[in-house]
Amino acid sequence: MLKTLIRLVRFTGRLGLALAAVVGMIVLFLALIVLTDGAGSGLAAWLTTLGVGAVAALWRFRRRTWPNRLARLLPVGVAAALTASVCVPTVPTERRYPAALPFVATQHWNLATGSRVAVYHYPPAPGAIRHPTPFVYLNGGPVRGISVLDHRFLRLLARQGYDVYTYEQAGGGRSDLLPMEQYTISRPVGDLAAFIDHLGKGRVDVLGFSSGGVVLTRALADPHVAAHVHRAIIAEPGPMDGPTARITGQKGRPSARGLAPAMTGPRSTRVPRYAVAFGLMRLGLLTPGTGLIGQAEGDNAFRAADLGSDTASGYCARDAHRIPTEDTAQNFSFSAAASLHAERTVKDSPSIAPQLRRSRTPAMLMIAECSAQVRQWETTVLAEDPAIQRTQYMPGVGHHMWNGLDDNNERAAAVITAFLQDKRAPLPNYPTRADIPAFLHGHR
């Protein structure tokens, strides 16, 4: 009995040491991934870890017989097998673009900036009163494909007589990729001007949503780009520059984040390679241009379910159990690495407030009741842009205001069309600049 107990204690101790060795090697591997920025698809870190582990094991048991010493390499083999999964791609490393949409043709335009973007056109519906100014939509993301939910909303505007154009910004959806360092906040601003030039129909009305609203706001601060814009609608914008990005404050009424059922479907973050890559990038421990995974591979791997609660944060808490499917698996596209790089260039950018104060382009701001955006990101635009003629506080909706639920699409369209046609607003002009302190204090 005593001998059995002694053997059990010794076995447990050896097993504990073996597990500690495996964990230690995995930690060393991850540290080397960070130090090498994932060089060589992680192979530099893997080979170094394997070498260090093997040498350490052989040295520690150098007085044992060779068969015994080789047996002590088992933990090294286990750690090597586990970490090797981080170095092996499980999706194509060349970009696989989404299939064509069944309800609209995809065109590709080569812009003067060098971007090659996927373009979609919804002409005015037959019989509708045609509006003379073309309408351009800038989707959110950044560096994300246009969702089917957004396409449905644009078709609604076309049925009301608008000549609607939209394009997936460089790197997003079916648009061609850029070198990672070119995903800056200034690139999509230049692309907007180049797109309107290529369209060749004079000035256009522009709706910018979320990060698209940031692009539009910065375009209005640039007189050369703003000259192309007839009227601007800034919907639920993110931070417009570095000083604004550093503001921490309140958000809107409660969203469905933490209340909605978890998204179903495949996740890249369940695969060790992509869990490590995207996780370390999000923590800022790997650069967006990391050598661990290429941009194309990362785009191919990322799935809608990887967005997690970010999708739920775009809806009101009351809608937590009826959040619509925003996109199809075939159409969904998001470049997490390029998005992070673009967001960082916003955080590093100087204030655009002095330039925005000189804007003369008629503009409207749309704010959602249940917005998960920091309220000061939105009110800063209102405070600094003197050409904002009205603000529409949209009750009963979250960040994604045209979401197909109830009459939300129709209400958003009514607000947009009233402004474009210079008609009376469907909702009160609220908040005004004078209302901003009370609006923030009241946690609206």
* Residue 130, pLDDT above cutoff 80: yes
Least trusted range by pLDDT, from 5-9, 19-23, 117-121, 271-275: 5-9
Evaluated on CA atoms 23, 25, 26, 27, the torsion sign reads positive
Query: What digits encode the pLDDT tens for the residues 329-344?
Result: 999 999 999 999 999 9
| Reported confidence tier of residue 59, pLDDT bands at 50, 70, 90 | low
The pLDDT value given to residue 4: 63
The candidate with the shortest Cα–Cα distance to 25, out of 88, 86, 90, 70, is 86
DSSP string, 13-47: HHHHHHHHHHHHHHHHHHHHHHHHTTGGGGHHHHH
| Same structural domain, 334 and 243 | yes
| Same structural domain, 214 and 253 | yes
Tell whether 98 is covered by a domain.
Answer: no
Contact 170, 176 (CB under 8 A): yes
The pLDDT value given to residue 333: 95
Tell whether 97 is covered by a domain.
Answer: no
Query: What digits encode the pLDDT tens for the residues 73-89?
Result: 677 788 888 899 999 99
The pLDDT value given to residue 69: 52
Domain limit, last residue, from 53, 69, 84: 84
Domain that holds residue 411: 107-441
Tell whether 100 is covered by a domain.
Answer: no
Tell whether 102 is covered by a domain.
Answer: no
The pLDDT value given to residue 411: 98
Domain limit, last residue, from 69, 84, 99: 84
| Same structural domain, 21 and 167 | no
| Reported confidence tier of residue 240, pLDDT bands at 50, 70, 90 | very high
The amino acid at 37: D
| Same structural domain, 169 and 27 | no
| Same structural domain, 160 and 39 | no
Q: Is the pTM of this model over 0.85?
A: yes
State the Cα–Cα distance between residues 52 and 408, nearest whole angstrom: 60
The candidate with the shortest Cα–Cα distance to 210, out of 346, 367, 411, is 367
| Same structural domain, 148 and 227 | yes
State the Cα–Cα distance between residues 138 and 146, nearest whole angstrom: 9
Buried (b) or exposed (e) across 9-29, using 16+ Cβ within 10 A?
eeeeeeeeebeebbebbbebb
Query: What digits encode the pLDDT tens for the residues 367-415?
Result: 999 998 999 999 999 999 999 999 999 999 999 999 999 999 999 999 9
Q: What is the CATH number of the domain that holds 214?
A: 3.40.50.1820
Angle at 38 between CA 35 and CA 43, to 5 degrees: 110
Averaged pLDDT of the chain: 92
Tokens 């749309």, residue located: 366
The pLDDT value given to residue 12: 57
| Same structural domain, 131 and 265 | yes
Give the percent of the chain with pLDDT over 90.
Answer: 80
| Same structural domain, 258 and 335 | yes
Pick the more confident residue, 3 or 233. 233
**Within the chain, how many helices (H) and strands (E) appear?**
17, 8
The helix (run of H) or strand (run of E) holding residue 186 is: helix 186-199
* Residue 189, pLDDT above cutoff 80: yes
The pLDDT value given to residue 2: 56
The pLDDT value given to residue 441: 84
In the chain, the number of structural domains is 2
Tell whether 209 is covered by a domain.
Answer: yes
| Same structural domain, 55 and 155 | no
Tell whether 366 is covered by a domain.
Answer: yes
| Same structural domain, 183 and 276 | yes
Domain limit, last residue, from 84, 117, 146: 84
| Reported confidence tier of residue 13, pLDDT bands at 50, 70, 90 | low
Across the range 219-239, mean pLDDT stands at 97
Query: What digits encode the pLDDT tens for the residues 200-223?
Result: 999 999 999 999 999 999 999 999
| Same structural domain, 320 and 419 | yes
| Reported confidence tier of residue 7, pLDDT bands at 50, 70, 90 | low
The candidate with the shortest Cα–Cα distance to 405, out of 302, 320, 309, is 320
Least trusted range by pLDDT, from 83-92, 157-166, 412-421: 83-92
Tell whether 135 is covered by a domain.
Answer: yes
Would you state the structure tokens that stand for residue 431, as one six-digit string?
A: 């908040």
Tell whether 417 is covered by a domain.
Answer: yes
Would you state the structure tokens that stand for residue 46, as one six-digit string?
A: 């893997």
| Same structural domain, 112 and 70 | no
DSSP string, 204-239: EEEEEETHHHHHHHHHHTSHHHHTTEEEEEEES---
* Residue 91, pLDDT above cutoff 60: yes
Measured in residues, the chain has a length of 444
Evaluated on CA atoms 314, 315, 317, 323, the torsion sign reads negative
